[in-house]
Structure 1
Amino acid sequence: MRALPGEAGVALAGSAIIGAGAVLAVALTPVEYAPPGAMFWPAAVLSASLLAIPLMRGVLEGLYGLLHAENLVLVAIIYWVLLDLLQGAYPLDELGRDDVIAALETVAIFAMFIPLGRLAPTLGAPKPIARAARADLPTQNAFIAVCICFVLCISSFGIPTSFDPARMIDGLLQPRFGAPWSRGDLGGWEAFIDHLAYFGYVLPAATVLVATRAKARWADPRVWISILFTAIVCAFLAQSGGRRIIGMMLGSGLLLWMILKERFSIVRAAVVAGGAIGVLSLLQFILLIRNVGLEGFLSGDVDLDDYEFAGQFHVDDNFLRLAQIVHYFPDVVEYVGWKQIYYVLVRPIPRALWPDKPIDAGFSLPGLVGKSDVSLSSSIIGELHASYGLAAVAIGALLLGWAAASWTTLLRERNENARVLYCLGLMVFFVGMRSMQEIVLMTYAVLAWTAVSLVTSKKTAAATPAARDDSEEPCEPS
């Protein structure tokens, strides 16, 4: 499917605006760039240019245009890379001014090529996902799907504890890596058990589906059971300290609630905005307690006055690490070539089946910057730059933009289950901006819901041809 003329115009105009924003951002970079907050205006100008395409699509197509997957990728760049500069989260005294400018230019090049990926013919969703998108899940079957996902997910925490409730509750109170289900970086056969957790990632969106399809809405007991299951799973997944996981889960639920509404009013916009702020606040709380555990927090082991990121929505120091990668590659360290991409592609293969599977992407960022016993992220932009420089950044952006445009074709499906899959995929693109690995790992959630919805929908077809237990038809965003 080729891009429509209007879509091509938006892509080209948006790319040009981002380029102009980058030129202005570089011009606004102060001589005294290092103090916290000094880079606010360059980051603000570049961020505003990234929002040009979502705004143009919103004006031309309404809510449907705003929900394009490419839009969320552009917003993700602001969140994962530029937000720290906007907040003045840390000083940049580890960097030279040339490194800061080069990092801004690298971000801009990546962002400019994202919309251009839409100009290539799109393929649509893979066939199994497209088939699942057309599956009809009445309330009872959607609830059964929720129960299946809950049981499979909770098993990843129950099996290591022999389903002992006392041990499971105690594990919830422990710091990250202190629970019985925690393991090291290099897993063995137990990694298969870990994969069951991906079924839990879909629960918030699946709960919204149950609530939407139930006749009694929120008064239906199946809705509240689904909410309880979602809360339990969120608690276990939050214990590991993985904020992006909770963000992905709750974000997909919020997006689905927005999409399934017939009209997007100001009140609903305020609810979604408030929900997003609530999710960000929850992620801050997870960051606060993850090294001491809930038990340590309740016992007063956390001193809020010493909290490094008080008053900020801390993400990662991705801009700092991106600038360091730009500095080191290729002047100090040779590009790693395909090692980074190869490392990501073989990530799904269990190490138990391939003991000699690569353990890194061909370089160690902590080692380059003189740190140990830490993991550092630089966003997908940094990983691409470490591979083959700006050429890899541009090509990677084109491919990501093309994949996002292909996923957006799923938005045209009128089935509610298509909306569930679409929102899960949107969050894959959003969280995937943090790292190539995240794209692979978060895609497991989409595959998990694809499998479960196909199984439960087959039961529907076999059990009764009478379709739904409510009369509401899926709606097209307006």
Structure 2
Amino acid sequence: MDISTNSHHPQQNPPNLKKRIAKATWSGTFTLIFGLLLAFIRISVDMSPSFMANQVAIIVGVVITISIVLDSRRGWKNLFRADILCLLALYFLTLIEFLYPQPKFDQRLTSEQTIQAIEVLMIGFSGLAIGRHITFFKPAPPEWLDFGNIPDKTLFRIFCISAFLAYFYILMSVDFNPVKVIESLLGSRFAVPWGRGKLGDWRVFLSELKLFTYVIPPLTGIIWNRRQSFRLWQIFLVMFVFVFTLFYGFSGGTRNVLAAYIATFMAAYFLTLQSPTLIKLLIPTAIMGYAMVFATRHMLGFREMGIINYLATAAYASEKVQDTLSVDYNLWSIGLLVDAFPNKHDFLGLELLFVFLTKPIPRVLWPDKPEGLSTSIEQVVGADGWTVSATYIGESYMMGGIFAVILVSICLGILANWWSRTAAFHTTGYGIVVNALGFFTAAISMRSLIVFTTSMLPIVGLIFIAKTFPGLLGVKRLRYQYQRK
């Protein structure tokens, strides 16, 4: 009997527990760091910025792949780690677009600024790679991450609760008219009725419930793998809500949101996959990979005008959309930040951490909460009326230069390592969902530290429900403890 799917209790002595704990290999890390060093020393000021970034993108992409292959020698499940997702997310945000021609990049940065940006980026990659080998925290989850009392039969109930919380405010904003929801999603993302103002008001409590949309994809992955335990109509409802959630993320034009949905779905799907075969691995990976590439190409094009106008004006066929791949030009913003701090602006120090840590606190509870940084990224790069991302690399540099980049990168690597190692102890679907949401936090924190704390709210919500209202999930309180060697 498969105890993970048919019992209320996890195994007391999981077999080969050490082999089940996912961790990076030193051979993979040495290969990665060597490749990062090689990528940096091969560039020179005589190269154009776009060609320089292209060469680095190729080399770093190759060595990350080799590093992952080396890690796979411990088994394919050893690849489901938050640190790998961090590396891939950072590569996607900063370098993948330079695998395609980017002639306009040469007008944005000088060669000197590009070299500085690449140097800081390589240091960030190296910090993540080294930090993932540091194990300050025990791999076994503490009591507050212990979900052994929640059987898998409650997964559908959890799914329904999460879907209700995620879309309640959206439906309330349109008088519970689903047609208006679709019409709004097809329009500009800034004109949706459920949008919130810059500073927010009492409705922020309800609007933040949309974070529960991030719970839906991992639950879908688990329920699909264990679909024999559910009725046909339940599977149909789960897939319908999941597809709608993907459309909701796509229509918003924010690629990191859609990427998070896909990443958490894939993480939960692979972690609960029974009898894995090449078809079960490659088909969903190919479908989701193509969906993300397709979305990346088009989401920037329609998020201002909306999908309806995007299709009506045939903007999708424009040269701008068809000829290249555009992400965020984060390397450009990193280059300008490195050039500006501390030459033109003082380092922000702990101010940046304070703003980020207090981000989840609603302004209605703290009217005097800081509105933002004293020196914003937009102010430095000259962005007027639009937001700019610089990944956590740029934000860390604003805080304290290269030293801050090293420190933050290592800390993120340590946290990613710990979260990945706890996955071996999650034997119930509920625990795997919580773990998969940690993968989402790891990935999205690469884009910005400011969302690190807010992205943790769904995890906190699930933990709160499980520990405070177990009856809501149809289970009784039960404490147990693994026998550890």
Shared fold (TM-score, shorter chain, > 0.5): yes
1:28–1:211: structure 2 CA closer, same or farther, 3 Å change rule? same
C-alpha deviation, 1:12, in angstroms: 5.3
Aligned to 2:12: none
- Are 2:210 and 1:197 aligned? yes
C-alpha deviation, 1:11, in angstroms: 6.0
| Equivalent residue in structure 2 for 1:423, among 436, 460, 463 | 436
- Are 2:417 and 1:405 aligned? yes
Aligned to 1:287: 300
Distance 2:40 2:376 in 1: 29
- Are 2:458 and 1:445 aligned? yes
1:236–1:24: structure 2 CA closer, same or farther, 3 Å change rule? closer
1:94–1:138: structure 2 CA closer, same or farther, 3 Å change rule? closer
Aligned to 2:446: 433
C-alpha deviation, 1:173, in angstroms: 2.6
Determine helix, strand or coil for the equivalent of 2:210. Answer: helix
| Equivalent residue in structure 1 for 2:376, among 321, 345, 364 | 364
Q: How does 1:289-438 map to 2 (within 5 A)?
A: 289-298=302-311, 300-306=312-318, 308-413=320-425, 414-438=427-451
Distance 1:258 1:370 in 2: 43
C-alpha deviation, 1:69, in angstroms: 1.7
CA contact (8 A) 1:125 1:407 kept: no
1:278–1:94: structure 2 CA closer, same or farther, 3 Å change rule? closer
Aligned to 1:226: 238
- Are 2:39 and 1:25 aligned? yes
Distance 1:164 1:9 in 2: 48
- Are 2:191 and 1:178 aligned? yes
Distance 1:13 1:214 in 2: 39
Distance 2:318 2:140 in 1: 47
Q: How does 1:45-194 map to 2 (within 5 A)?
A: 45-59=59-73, 61-89=74-102, 90-117=104-131, 118-124=133-139, 127=142, 129-132=144-147, 134-139=148-153, 141-194=154-207
1:14–1:107: structure 2 CA closer, same or farther, 3 Å change rule? farther
Distance 1:31 1:181 in 2: 48
Distance 1:316 1:164 in 2: 35
Distance 1:231 1:9 in 2: 32
Aligned to 2:9: none
1:104–1:192: structure 2 CA closer, same or farther, 3 Å change rule? same
C-alpha deviation, 1:81, in angstroms: 1.3
CA contact (8 A) 1:205 1:256 kept: yes
1:459–1:342: structure 2 CA closer, same or farther, 3 Å change rule? closer
CA contact (8 A) 1:73 1:429 kept: yes
Distance 1:257 1:9 in 2: 19
C-alpha deviation, 1:290, in angstroms: 1.6
Letter in 1 for 2:292: V
Determine helix, strand or coil for the equivalent of 1:92. Answer: helix
Aligned to 2:57: 43
1:113–1:31: structure 2 CA closer, same or farther, 3 Å change rule? closer
C-alpha deviation, 1:94, in angstroms: 2.6
Task: Give the number of aligned pairs.
Answer: 455
Distance 2:169 2:318 in 1: 35
| Unmatched 5+ stretches in structure 1 | 466-478
Name the TM-score, length of structure 2 as normaliser: 0.85
C-alpha deviation, 1:230, in angstroms: 2.2
Structure 1 stretch displaced more, 151-160 or 50-59? 50-59
C-alpha deviation, 1:248, in angstroms: 0.7
1:243–1:39: structure 2 CA closer, same or farther, 3 Å change rule? closer
Distance 2:227 2:278 in 1: 25
C-alpha deviation, 1:404, in angstroms: 0.7
C-alpha deviation, 1:167, in angstroms: 3.5
| Unmatched 5+ stretches in structure 2 | 1-17, 479-485
| Equivalent residue in structure 2 for 1:255, among 260, 267, 274 | 267
Distance 1:14 1:390 in 2: 24
C-alpha deviation, 1:295, in angstroms: 2.7
Q: Which digits, 9 at most, give the CA deviation of each residue in 1:207-240, with x for residues without a partner? A: 22223333267x7210111111223334344443
- Are 2:456 and 1:460 aligned? no
Determine helix, strand or coil for the equivalent of 2:322. Answer: coil
C-alpha deviation, 1:51, in angstroms: 4.0
Q: CA RMSD of the aligned region, Å?
A: 2.9
1:15–1:142: structure 2 CA closer, same or farther, 3 Å change rule? closer
CA contact (8 A) 1:421 1:449 kept: yes
Distance 2:466 2:296 in 1: 29
CA contact (8 A) 2:220 2:239 kept: yes
Distance 2:464 2:232 in 1: 26
C-alpha deviation, 1:433, in angstroms: 0.4
C-alpha deviation, 1:399, in angstroms: 0.7
CA contact (8 A) 2:22 2:78 kept: no
C-alpha deviation, 1:263, in angstroms: 4.0
Distance 2:24 2:298 in 1: 39
CA contact (8 A) 2:101 2:324 kept: no
1:326–1:18: structure 2 CA closer, same or farther, 3 Å change rule? farther
Determine helix, strand or coil for the equivalent of 1:440. Answer: helix
CA contact (8 A) 1:340 1:362 kept: no
C-alpha deviation, 1:37, in angstroms: 4.4
CA contact (8 A) 1:173 1:293 kept: yes
CA contact (8 A) 1:318 1:378 kept: yes
Q: Percent identity?
A: 21
